Structure 1
Amino acid sequence: MDLNWLRDFECLARTLNFTRASDERNITQSAFSRRIKALESWVGLPLVNRATYPVQLTEAGKQFLPVAQAAISQLSESRQSLRDADRGDSRFIRFSVLHTIAVNFLATRIEELQKQIPDLRTRVLSDSLSTCCDLLVEGAVDILLCYYHHTVSPMIDETAFERKDLLKDRLIPVAATQPVRALGWDLSRQDGPPIPYLAYDRSSFLGMVVENTVDRKPQNTETIYVDSLVETIKRRLMTGSGFAWMPETSISAELDQGLLVPIGDDAWCATLTISAFSNPASLDQIAHQLWQRL
């Protein structure tokens, strides 16, 4: 059981539309459908009648909906109670953040901020975009950090939360230097053997950005590996297994050392923004200082 399945089901029961519900949950419709099917497999019965328009809940779905809503509510309340009890004298400022931003940006930034704010205590929760957004909206974290892109933007009510753009990042098609030189890998070439492609899962944020921008151009490539995590794909990348679109912040050292090289010009790149979301009015003094200096 995944709590996200219950949230997905509650959203679908409210909208009765797979497209609208997947948009609200910040995932692709195919990934959303897989999660609803996974929940149905766990229950052991169909919860949604897909033969009608709009879709309708089955009798089992109607019976299960209040159970799902109660579980979401009780778990959220329990988490909030634990969070409040944890505050004590050493208040932890909580972040929800995409994994690659936590590794390649936030860790260094927090270290810098702790020199400026000695009493700063932080706790970082790394997860998917939809879960990170849920944690902010439910009040389980103080600040959300995520990528922001005009084609795939997080569904955050900017009348309730303030957005602060922190850093421009780029998705660059890169590969290990040795196979690029030996095999002549270049995305502008349409001849020769296809270039092995290490791809992001289409349900992930970066997967959706790539799919909606640079991945639509004609290219002589063959997908050989799919994953949701930048760091996992990077490991395959460093062994020379193929090429991948990587956030520049995650490979800056490897580019400087010449271990990785781009295999396409700027037309094959996409620009991202690392953005932070919070409600400054709800922050205590130390958290407000952090927000101002972030």
Structure 2
Amino acid sequence: MDIKWLEDFLSLAQTRNFSRSAEDRCVTQSALSRRIQALEAWVGADLVDRSTYPLVLTPAGKMFGSAAGEAMRLLNDARAMLRVEEANEQVLRVSAGHALSLNFFPQWLTSMQAKHGPLRTRILPANVHDSVLALVEGNCDLLLCYHHSALPIELDAQRFEFLHLGDETVMPVSVPTRAGSPAFSLPGAKAEPLPYLAYTPTTYFGRVVQHIQARAGQADCLRNCYESDLAELLKTMALSGHGLAWLPESCIARELAEGKLVRAGGEQWMLRLEIRLFRAIGQRKPVLDELWKYAAACHP
């Protein structure tokens, strides 16, 4: 059972309107309906009477709504107390995508600590949507993410500020042949499409690759043979010779240097991304303020 289902249900109980609650919850009406149905399946009873307009709660829905409201109150109170304790502990909570968590953050933190001094951090790997939501809802102190003008991370500039920490190039790679050329090289041929190790379309890197393909100026000939949310898994498959994959350079720096992977396309098949660090402007936490001030001096 997902806690978001409870929040969806409590919103619906208040508005008695799927369309209005979907707008309040920032989801589509069909997604909200599926989540309410999933909650009903978990409870084992119909919670909403859909035969009336406006809709009403069933007797089971009224009983469950009272319990759900109390549960959310207790959970929110506990979260508020824990946030106060964490603030006092001076632990920096950093939400970041999996690739940045593995390949960029450790080295960046080491460089910060070398001059700033020891820092207590907690890394929270997540997809882009959940990482941004963690910052917006106050569940992390810092958001580390990629940014491109065509694929922006949209945060209110009045509430959040950012630092540009560096850049990252996403490129197509393949295992080499004995001669050192890529075994699978773009754009490929219609007669024999290249085996393609793809990101799932809803991931950030999935959207990055779609943007690269759209602006390349020529069609590619690819055959999807494997799909994953994670760059590290695609890297493992690429190293095993299963096909071509687009990967961030920091993820494959060693493999490129050792010749285990080689570029599988020209500049038109690559994209440069910014690496940004966000924080909420109004959040006051001494260790966060100190790190931000130091990081801003290092990354003007």
TM bracket, shorter-chain basis = 0.7 to 0.9
Cα 1:81–1:150 shift into 2, 3 Å: same
| Counterpart in the other structure of 1:122 | 121
**Deviation readout 1:244-284 (Å, 9 max, x if unpaired):** 11011111111111111111101011221111111244243
Distance 2:204 2:68 in 1: 26
Distance change >3 Å, CA 119–CA 220, structure 1 → 2: closer
TM-score, scaled to structure 2: 0.77
Tell me the equivalent position of 1:53.
none
Greater shift in the superposed pair: 155-164 or 114-123: 114-123
- What is aligned with 1:246? 247
Structure 1 residue aligned with 2:185: 186
Equivalences for residues 102-113 of structure 1 within 5 A: 102-113=101-112
Map residues 209-288 of structure 1 onto 2, 5 A cutoff: 209-214=208-213, 218-288=219-289
Matches within 5 A, 1:42-191: 42-44=39-41, 75-88=75-88, 90-178=89-177, 184-191=183-190
Q: Is the 8 A contact 1:76 1:138 kept in 2?
A: no
Q: Look up the SS of the partner of 1:139 in the other structure.
A: coil
Any unmatched runs of 5+ in structure 2? 13-17, 296-300
Counterpart of 1:164 in 2: which secondary structure?
Answer: strand
Q: How many residue pairs align between the two structures?
A: 278
How many angstroms apart in 2 are the aligned matches of 1:112 and 1:256? Answer: 22
- Distance in 1 between the 2:54 and 2:201 partners? 27
* Whole-angstrom distance in 2 between the partners of 1:273 and 1:65: 45
Aligned pair partner of 2:34 in 31, 37, 53:
37
- Asked whether the equivalents of residues 159 and 282 of structure 2 are also in contact (C-alpha less than 8 Å), the reply is no
1:214 Cα deviation (Å)?
2.0
Q: State whether residues 8 and 21 of structure 1, in contact with CA within 8 Å, keep that contact through their aligned partners in structure 2.
A: no
Q: Aligned partners of 2:235, 2:139: CA distance in 1, in Å?
A: 31
Q: What displacement does 1:208 show? A: 1.7
The residue that corresponds to 2:198 in the other structure is 199
Letter in 2 for 1:81: M
Q: Distance in 2 between matches of 1:223 and 1:57?
A: 46
SS of equivalent residue, structure 1 residue 213: helix
Query: Does 259-268 or 37-46 show the bigger shift?
Result: 37-46
Residues 73-82 or 105-114, more deviating? 73-82
Structure 1 distance, partners of 2:198, 2:115, is 39
Note closer, same or farther for the CA distance 1:59–1:223 as it changes in structure 2 (3 Å cut): farther
> Structure 1: where are the runs of 5+ without partners?
23-28, 50-55
Deviates more, 1:170-179 or 1:262-271: 170-179
Point out the more displaced range, 141-150 or 173-182.
173-182
Distance 1:186 1:46 in 2: 55
> Greater CA radius of gyration, 1 or 2?
2
Deviations, residues 80-116 of structure 1 (Å, cap 9, x unaligned)? 422322444x411111111110111111111222222
Q: Is the 8 A contact 2:184 2:243 kept in 1?
A: no
- SS in structure 2 of the partner of residue 95 of structure 1: strand
Letter in 1 for 2:103: N
